[in-house]
Chains A and B, each alone.
Chain A
Amino acid sequence: MAQAAETRKRGNKAKEPPVDRDQLLQAYRMMLLIRRFEEKAGQLYGMGLIGGFCHLYIGQEAVVVGMQLALSEGDQVITSYRDHGHMLATGMEARGVMAELTGRSGGYSHGKGGSMHMFSKEKAFFGGHGIVGAQVSLGTGLAFSNWYRGNDRVSLTYFGEGASNQGQVFESFNLAALMKLPVIFIIENNKYGMGTSVDRASASRDLSQNGAPWGIPGVQVDGMDVLAVKAAGDQAVAHCRAGKGPFLLEMKTYRYRGHSMSDPARYRTREEVQMMRTQHDCIENARHRLEGLGVEEARFKQIDDEVKAIIQEAADFAQSSPEPDEKELWTDVLLEG
């Protein structure tokens, strides 16, 4: 507990790090790319081009973009079904993700996974998992593989505050702490597990301390501030790479849209959503900082145009890429022995 309290203090201090202009610009661009991607996905869903469940990441962009800045190549990322942002942040191509959403052959899973199930071995992105909480023990297993191989890679295991109550999450905390596995557990606390607020679902009032019984240090982070996320990520990654075992980050964040496309979000007020959008938006926040650092309007316009072009191209590709060949129904069930 003493260790946890100490890291908390350091975590709070880390909220005002020195600002690297180029890095912030890079983060701004990625957050914008994710937001525009998600808006376009929402639009294509509305047109009937995307089916089933579609969980948008709008509002939470700073979490995954900030964490990605703290990673090195080869570190693994795994998350739940609200996964489009994570994929883009790990460097997966917008067109491949969007084409998977439309169920086309050009998608990352050739149209066989959909919004919730996408993977990229090349980018060390391990999904995309549809069962709430399952990715937490899988992510612990990714860390196990690093431990087994004796390398210094780190597993970033994301889950929502809703999933944080699942039994296997606590089983994973125990296993990771017991074996000192290099895993960063990241709770994306967007306040609502579908329609149930965190206060109604969790008796724990400070989720960052949920690993305390196992001695897992935890920090609460302003998940709407990409630099605060990055600073906390640096701290957690350093801890893991030093062989000190798991680390827990609770990201205080917010999703502007419903849980999935068909959620009218009646469990919260319009004023609450509006307040987060106007006063805490991660992209606006980064933009103001960049303006203060002397970045000019033309540069923002240029980024805007670049992002728009990428998203347009992705949307076009997602509609022009053919549906998977009917033979695909029978492939990838088993690997050849």
Chain B
Amino acid sequence: MATQILMPALSPTMTEGKLARWLKNVGDDVRAGDVIAEIETDKATMEVEAVDEGKLAKILVEEGTEGVAVNTPIAVLGADGEDVSTAPAPQRTDAPRAAAPMPKVAAEGADVKAIAEMGAKGQRKEALEAAPAPEKDWGPTKPITVREALRDAMALELRRDDTVFLMGEEVAQYQGAYKISQGLLDEFGPKRIIDTPITEHGFTGMAVGAALNGLKPIVEFMTFNFAMQAMDQIINSAAKTLYMSGGQMGCPIVFRGPNGAAARVAAQHSQCYASWYAHVPGLKVVAPYSSADAKGLLRAAIRDPNPVIVLENEILYGHSFDCPVDEDFILPIGKAKVERTGQHVTIVAFSIMVGVALKAAEELAQQGIEAEVINLRSLRPLDTATIVESVKKTNRLVTVEEGWPYAGIGSEVAMQVIEHAFDWLDAPPVRVHGEDVPLPYAANLEKLALPQPDWVVRAVRKIV
């Protein structure tokens, strides 16, 4: 049976090309893989190889012809011994042309918009309509440090599930660079508390590989600054594989460590990565403030079947807060906490900035302004419902973060409020943030760059 040879597309964008040269003549035998012609595209001259076997029976497009559309028949191949001289000249069919890339992209453009609207409604509206559930009362508490809370969370989950393990630099024998993993090696042994060499890219990839095969690694970065070396594995491998595999292969993994400025360690060791990770679909991101946040959110992160980034704060490690003593205490990812109620302004903060916001609220109270302080706890998913409900009451929004302003978490929170509660706003939202410079070393300059409680007071006073 005669087979048509069609003008091939030789790049993702090619729609037509020049048939530069025939390398076979009519009557020649053609085997699969033989180069039969050369085609010039907009980018290069390419060789066309035969896919089928037979005798070249007819050449339909002479060499030198320009502007030959993709999928136009260019020659006819006859089976061995077959006489195709009487076969009718093949007609150009429209069917394969419909598959040419150009018109399809245009058609899809319209669909994509519709789907995006559907998705935005389907996901966000639902979240907004659900009234924020009151926080569960976990009963008696006792004061513990954030450091102890993180260690206890890991110890409890390591006991609960033997596929959970901890790896990172100095986590085992040294007991943790910041002593978060104190005592874990003794209890769980070297197979589950693993010291790694200083090789973030490699060990992060290794941990992601182990997670793809069903283990539940906790990867400690000595600080999140060093996770930059492993960014590709976190984003391209951990966050995207579930989607790219059509739901077959999840990645239950926790990346944790101190984030943001410590004290006097300068630019390369003092950066907030909240906005970087929160940008990525396929990740969850939490940022605990108190001991209860740290314990409850880390336990939830370890149990979560998805990759979760836990952004801790070095300065908070030694702070004590009341924390529920209940063995089962855990917090849901995606729920904010109203730390203080008030009716004049909503202050939204996360991590160490919650403390700054609470201090500012005390100062404001003395001035007769009652601020509602929301501790985000989770940055992705964001608890938009709690924020919006608060703004509908206070009609004013101030966001506080340690990181830079451009495309920051404050920008996202403000935009959510504008989208969902624009008519309730009595003033433009105000962002309080770290100054838009690499963090300096000098004590006085460092202080000038990081948000202080009086910055928040001033921001509130601008709009109240």
Contact = CB atoms under 8 A, between A and B. Distances in A.
Interface of A: 39-40, 42-43, 45-49, 51-53, 58, 76, 78, 107-113, 117-121, 126-131, 134, 136-145, 148, 167-168, 171-172, 174-175, 178, 256-258, 261-262, 264-266, 270, 277, 326, 329-337
A283 B305 CA distance: 44
A46 B49 CA distance: 11
A112 B243 contact: yes
A110 B204 CA distance: 28
Centre residue among B49, B245, B333 by max chain A CB count within 10 A: B245
| Closest A-B pairs by Cβ, 10 of them | A141-B209, A137-B205, A171-B202, A46-B8, A262-B11, A138-B209, A109-B246, A110-B246, A117-B244, A332-B247
Given A117-B244, A333-B242, A334-B242, A42 B249 contact: no
A92 B300 CA distance: 36
A47 B96 CA distance: 7
B244 A109 contact: yes
B415 interface: no
Nearest to B334: A337
Contacts of B427: none
Given A113-B246, A126-B209, A144-B206, A333 B199 contact: no
Nearest to A113: B244
Nearest to B194: A179
A337 B206 contact: no
A287 to B, nearest CB: 14
A277 B250 contact: no
Nearest to A122: B248
A119 B16 CA distance: 34
Contact of B9 (A47, A78, A113, A129): A47
B245 A127 contact: yes
A75 B199 CA distance: 26
18 contacts: A39-B49, A42-B51, A43-B51, A46-B70, A111-B246, A112-B246, A113-B245, A119-B244, A126-B209, A134-B205, A137-B206, A145-B210, A171-B199, A262-B10, A264-B45, A326-B115, A334-B242, A335-B305
B385 to A, nearest CB: 17
Given A46-B9, A126-B212, A172-B205, A137 B233 contact: yes
Contact of A329 (B32, B33, B115, B250): B115
Interface in B314-355: 333
B389 interface: no
Contact of B249 (A110, A121, A130): A121
A140 B202 contact: yes
A100 to B, nearest CB: 9
Nearest to A51: B12
A92 B416 CA distance: 45
B247 A140 contact: no
A330 B123 contact: yes
Residue among B99, B196, B236, B303 with max Cβ neighbours from chain A (10 Å): B99
Contact of A168 (B70, B122, B165, B201): B201
A112 B281 CA distance: 15
A334 B282 contact: yes
Contacts of B32: 39
Interface string B200-226: 011111111111111100000000000
Nearest to B32: A39
B205 A168 contact: yes
Given A332-B243, A335-B305, A47 B71 contact: yes
B199 A174 contact: yes
A119 B233 CA distance: 17
B12 A137 contact: no
B237 interface: yes
A265 B47 CA distance: 9
Contacts, number: 215
B246 A142 contact: no
A335 B306 contact: yes
A273 B78 CA distance: 27
What class of interface size applies to chain B in its complex with A?
A: 35 or more
Contacts of B9: 45-48
Nearest to A330: B119
B122 to A, nearest CB: 7
Nearest to B97: A48
Contacts of B51: 39-40, 42-43
Contacts of A144: 206-207, 209-210, 215
B80 interface: no
B79 interface: no
Given A42-B51, A333-B242, A139 B247 contact: no
B462 interface: no
B202 A168 contact: yes
B11 A332 contact: no
A146 to B, nearest CB: 8
A256 B32 CA distance: 13
A256 B33 contact: yes
Given A112-B244, A332-B247, A138 B237 contact: yes
Contacts of A329: 115, 119
Given A111-B246, A119-B245, 9 more contacts: A47-B70, A113-B244, A120-B248, A127-B241, A131-B232, A138-B208, A142-B210, A168-B205, A333-B243
A175 B196 CA distance: 8
B459 to A, nearest CB: 34
A140 B12 contact: no
Contact of B202 (A39, A76, A175, A277): A175
A264 B46 contact: yes
A96 to B, nearest CB: 10
B207 to A, nearest CB: 6
Given A109-B245, A141-B212, A261-B10, A175 B206 contact: yes
Interface in B272-309: 281-282, 284, 300, 303-306
A112 B243 CA distance: 7
Contacts of A49: 99
Contacts of A113: 244-246
B203 A108 contact: no
Contact of B306 (A108, A145, A266, A337): A337
A292 B231 CA distance: 54
A148 B205 contact: no
Contact of A137 (B45, B209, B300): B209
A328 to B, nearest CB: 8
B160 interface: no
Given A109-B246, A140-B202, A141-B208, A334 B122 contact: no
